[in-house]
C-alpha cells in the first residue's frame, strides 16, 4: 500500500499522462479518429485506476455516453443557451448525446 506522499505523486503523474493523451488525441484526430478514441479510453482507465478526476477542461473533449473524442465542427456541436440557466450544450454527433455545462456555476468557482 503506497503511503500518502506516494499516492499524491502517483496522482500527479496520472494527471500529467491524461493531459498528454488528450494532446495526442487532438493531434491524431485528423489522421485517425479511431486512435483518438483509443487515447480517451486509455486516459479514462488511468483516471479510474489512480482515482483522479479528468481535469475540467478535458472533460468536455469527449462524449460521456459513447466516450468518443469530440472535436467541435467535426463530430460535435457546441451551442450556448441563455434561457433558464445559461449553459453550453455539446451535442455528440456520433451518438446524439447532449452534455450541458452550466456557465453560472463555472464562473462562481472561478475556473474554466
Ligand atoms: Zn457520443
For residue 66, how far is its CA from the centre of ligand 1 (angstroms)? Answer: 4
* Stretch among 47-61, 70-84, 93-107 having the lowest mean pLDDT: 93-107
For residue 58, how far is its CA from the centre of ligand 1 (angstroms)? Answer: 15
So what's the pLDDT on residue 4?
85
Judge contact between 22 and 39, C-beta under 8 A. yes
pLDDT per residue as tens digits for the range 14-72? 999 999 999 999 999 999 999 999 999 999 999 999 999 999 999 999 999 999 999 99
Cα separation, 55 vs 47, whole angstroms: 10
For residue 31, how far is its CA from the centre of ligand 1 (angstroms)? Answer: 20
Fold type of domain 4-109: 1.20.5
So what's the pLDDT on residue 24?
98
So what's the pLDDT on residue 105?
62
Residue 7 has pLDDT above 80, yes or no: yes
What does 30-91 look like in DSSP terms, one character per residue?
A: TT-HHHHHHHHHHHHHHHHHTT-PPPHHHHTTB-TTT--B--BTTTEEEEEE-SSS-EEEEE
For residue 112, how far is its CA from the centre of ligand 1 (angstroms)? Answer: 22
For residue 26, how far is its CA from the centre of ligand 1 (angstroms)? Answer: 17
Cα separation, 82 vs 21, whole angstroms: 33
- Residues in CB range of 37: below 8 A, 6 or more apart: 25, 67, 68, 69
Amino acid at each position: 500500500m503506497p503511503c500518502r506522499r506516494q499516492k499524491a505523486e502517483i496522482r500527479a503523474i496520472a494527471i500529467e499522462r491524461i493531459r498528454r493523451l488528450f494532446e495526442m488525441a487532438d493531434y491524431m484526430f485528423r489522421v485517425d479518429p479511431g486512435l483518438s478514441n483509443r487515447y480517451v479510453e486509455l486516459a479514462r482507465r488511468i483516471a479510474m485506476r489512480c482515482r483522479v478526476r479528468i481535469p475540467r477542461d478535458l472533460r468536455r473533449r469527449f462524449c460521456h455516453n459513447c466516450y468518443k473524442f469530440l472535436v467541435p465542427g467535426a463530430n460535435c456541436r457546441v451551442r450556448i443557451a441563455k434561457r433558464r440557466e445559461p449553459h453550453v450544450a455539446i451535442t455528440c454527433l456520433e451518438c446524439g448525446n447532449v452534455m450541458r455545462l452550466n456557465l453560472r456555476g463555472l464562473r462562481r468557482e472561478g475556473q474554466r
